[in-house]
Structure 1
Amino acid sequence: MSKKYLISGGGTGGHIFPALSIANALRRREPDCSILYVGALGRMEMERVPAAGYEIVGLPVAGFDRRRLWRNVSVLFKLWKSLRIARRTLKQFAPDAVIGVGGYASGPVLKQAQKMGIPTLIQEQNSYAGVTNKLLARKAKAICVAYEGMERFFPADRIMLTGNPVRADLFSLSLTPAEAKRQLGFDPEKPLVLVVGGSLGARTVNESIAPGLRSLTDAGASVMWQTGKLYAEEFIPVAEQTAGVKASAFISDMALAYRAADIVVSRAGAGTISELQLLGKTAILVPSPNVAEDHQRKNAEALASRGAAVMILDADARRELVPAVTALLKDDGMRESLSRNAAAMGLRDADEKIVDKIHEISR
């Protein structure tokens, strides 16, 4: 009889891409298995998951507002409602295992699954575990992590170091970096600085790079800049004023962009960091301060402490980011060292390792 698996979580690409990688790996291993995704209504997964070919159920769950506590009355009602929907969904679908990838929906779903005796697996992407995953880990059968030392947060006997699943297309290109630059319309002889701030964008990164574009091109570099859709109208015209700079709201082919890039400037989300490690990219990380438990800073510190990336705090970026990029452009040895150390931290085949563990714990 074919198995059934329920995957829950989302909210950002950093949760959704690993979830879809796990789902795809399950389907490769068991073509006749059934997979159901449970996400949060109004969030990114409600579009991305069906587009990838998987059925999804949406919960009305929302995150707690830690600054304006009075707003949490409605949040508690949505949580109660989400718990009821999660329980009903679990009873109807009857999965053999439930996988939580983090995000609003995973809490109610895994909590109810554990109460019903359904085996659960947590996939923790960050170097610093969030409150929800720490609570859920008490009854989880397995916790798959991307960093060493996670026994600070989870029961050591249930931790498995797997790394984070990443998009398979990142490794499918056969182009050389020079060929990738040429295909993107850049001079293949010049180093390319890739600036990304997520699909929505990052104001600090954009405002830090914009005044220094001429400095970077004067230093002999080209710049490929993803402004994010929230900032496209403001910053794309700025980029058009400098030769050797191309800006867009969104980069659709990240595999090609990564292959071409000599230096990557990015936020420090767990998924992005895993991609940079596996590709051995020289990176400058500007962690977002607007995330739970300041986990992006802790992710960036995990690399910076091993000489695998340069970290610049958000508050310092407007002053320090462009000089840091310029310094790396002039220092081939440092770029090679950062690249080598990042690659040494990369953990391959995370999706296959996680599927092995899912099979081990499933009913």
Structure 2
Amino acid sequence: MTTNNKTYKIILSGGGTGGHIYPAVAIANELKSRFPNAEFLFVGAKNRMEMDKVPQAGYKIIGLWISGIQRELTLKNLSFPFKLMSSLWKSRKIIANFKPDVVIGTGGFASGPLLQVATSQGIPSLIQEQNSYPGITNKLLAKKAHKICVAYDGLERFFPKDKIIKTGNPVREDLLHITKKRDEAFEKFSIEKDKKTILVLGGSLGARRINELIEKELDFLLTHNIQVIWQCGKLYYDKYKIYNHTKNIQVHAFINNMACVYAAADIIISRAGAISVSELCIVGKPVIFIPSPNVAEDHQAKNAQAIVDEDAAILITENDLEVDFQNKFTQLIISPEKQQFLGENIKKLAMVDATSHIADVVELLLNKSNK
């Protein structure tokens, strides 16, 4: 890693979900450590969670009036052309005023217009594609982007091969040291050391089908002498908080200290968003993936399948939960050997230096643009 005092200007664009926001923040933090005098600007979508999370991380953000196209026929789609034109116009204004040396897109609604304008003006640009199956926005942007950092093999099916660099996905640095946090985690979450801890994750907003499953299976789960830490999401907390009165069950709308809760967990039930998958590889605990079917190109199922193909996780589709969950969970909870096998295999897939590698690629673009 190099450190110098050049006053680069760097735009990072992405958002809509934590899976797009946290990688962007991780990349910004790494670049800031290398270029302390650099100026950073985030561009996100108005009224999305990045408008709160990015300032909390210490960075300035500007919001665009943009949202995705709904896959169902809906009146909301009628406003999309106007939102796109507005966002392209505002992106031109942002770039003209800020004059970035490089633009980085991590996915989400806002990254499309911003990177489209940047690449059309020849500004060095980098796409950080998190999934094993990219969305249409990044496929279109890839034609003009200078470099594309990916986390999975085989993406030359979608992107120019000479632009692809396999780096992995950026994750929170504190996840690299969770083994040291186990005792702290027991105390923080007030859990018993002689019980297995099941961590249930459905994303920052929550996952309706996973929440319904856990509610239905609570009695079954508790027969296995376990305790459950259940992040149900802020959209569902009011409905499920009543289970905080049940022994060995705790319900959270959102968990800020993910390193600590990962340290507490023995088995994890999770969606299969790209960043979640990358984090769980680093965590190295046995995982049951329940991918969301309500995503573009069914990319969560593809993300999870890539891990299952390495004998490193269990996958249950939403359609199969009724017939498979109890059986597959029981097989896992009664077998310490299987738990160890899956935990060791998923950890082998971790790419712990992803953030640093992506920053290296950004440095190359900066050096070329300033020659």
TM-score (normalised: structure 1): 0.96
Could you say if the C-alpha distance between residues 356 and 254 of structure 1 is closer, same or farther in structure 2, counting changes exceeding 3 Å? same
- 1:288 matched to which residue of 2? 292
Shift of 1:209: 1.3
Write the letter of the residue equivalent to 2:120. K
Q: In terms of mean alpha carbon deviation, does 325-334 or 264-273 score higher?
A: 325-334
Shift of 1:221: 1.4
Whether 1:185 aligns to 2:218 is: no
- 1:171 matched to which residue of 2? 176
Whether 1:227 aligns to 2:228 is: no
Q: Work out the CA distance in 2 between the residues paired with 1:253 and 1:50.
A: 18
Shift of 1:220: 2.0
- 1:211 matched to which residue of 2? 216
Could you say if the C-alpha distance between residues 191 and 111 of structure 1 is closer, same or farther in structure 2, counting changes exceeding 3 Å? same
1:14-70 CA distances to partner (integer Å, 9 max, x unpaired)?
A: 000000000000100000001111111111111111111111111101111222165
- In structure 2, runs of 5+ residues without a counterpart are 1-5
1:55-111 CA distances to partner (integer Å, 9 max, x unpaired)?
A: 111110111122216543311011011101101111111111110000001111111
Whether 1:313 aligns to 2:327 is: no
User: Aligned match of 2:344 in 340, 349, 359?
Assistant: 340
Q: In terms of mean alpha carbon deviation, does 25-34 or 42-51 score higher?
A: 42-51
- In structure 1, runs of 5+ residues without a counterpart are none
Q: Work out the CA distance in 1 between the residues paired with 2:69 and 2:84.
A: 10
- 1:264 matched to which residue of 2? 268
Whether 1:238 aligns to 2:236 is: no
- 1:102 matched to which residue of 2? 107
Q: Work out the CA distance in 2 between the residues paired with 1:238 and 1:180.
A: 21
User: Aligned match of 2:283 in 279, 286, 297?
Assistant: 279
Q: Work out the CA distance in 2 between the residues paired with 1:149 and 1:330.
A: 36
Equivalent positions of 1:106-145 (< 5 A) are 106-145=111-150
Write the letter of the residue equivalent to 1:214. D
Whether 1:360 aligns to 2:364 is: yes
1:129-157 CA distances to partner (integer Å, 9 max, x unpaired)?
A: 11110111111110000111111111111
Please give the secondary structure, in 1, of the residue aligned with 2:348: helix
- 1:15 matched to which residue of 2? 20
Identical amino acids, percent of aligned pairs: 47
Q: Work out the CA distance in 2 between the residues paired with 1:239 and 1:311.
A: 28
1:176-230 CA distances to partner (integer Å, 9 max, x unpaired)?
A: 6355334421110211110111121111111111122222222121111111122
User: Aligned match of 1:24 in 24, 29, 41?
Assistant: 29
Write the letter of the residue equivalent to 1:210. E
Contact 2:195–2:226 under 8 Å retained in 1: yes
Please give the secondary structure, in 1, of the residue aligned with 2:180: coil
Please give the secondary structure, in 2, of the residue aligned with 1:228: coil
Please give the secondary structure, in 2, of the residue aligned with 1:233: helix
Write the letter of the residue equivalent to 2:73. R
- 1:158 matched to which residue of 2? 163
Could you say if the C-alpha distance between residues 79 and 179 of structure 1 is closer, same or farther in structure 2, counting changes exceeding 3 Å? closer
Contact 1:268–1:285 under 8 Å retained in 2: yes
1:240-292 CA distances to partner (integer Å, 9 max, x unpaired)?
A: 23x22222222222111100111000111111111100111210010011111
Contact 1:178–1:188 under 8 Å retained in 2: no
Could you say if the C-alpha distance between residues 71 and 235 of structure 1 is closer, same or farther in structure 2, counting changes exceeding 3 Å? closer
Q: Work out the CA distance in 2 between the residues paired with 1:96 and 1:288.
A: 37
Write the letter of the residue equivalent to 1:268. A
Q: Across the two proteins, how many residue pairs are aligned to each other?
A: 362
Contact 1:208–1:322 under 8 Å retained in 2: no
Shift of 1:173: 4.5
Q: Work out the CA distance in 1 between the residues paired with 2:194 and 2:270.
A: 23
Write the letter of the residue equivalent to 2:251. A
Q: Work out the CA distance in 1 between the residues paired with 2:309 and 2:142.
A: 27
Could you say if the C-alpha distance between residues 183 and 268 of structure 1 is closer, same or farther in structure 2, counting changes exceeding 3 Å? same
Q: What is the Cα-based RMSD across aligned positions, in Å?
A: 1.5
User: Aligned match of 1:2 in 7, 12, 25?
Assistant: 7
Q: Work out the CA distance in 2 between the residues paired with 1:173 and 1:124.
A: 26
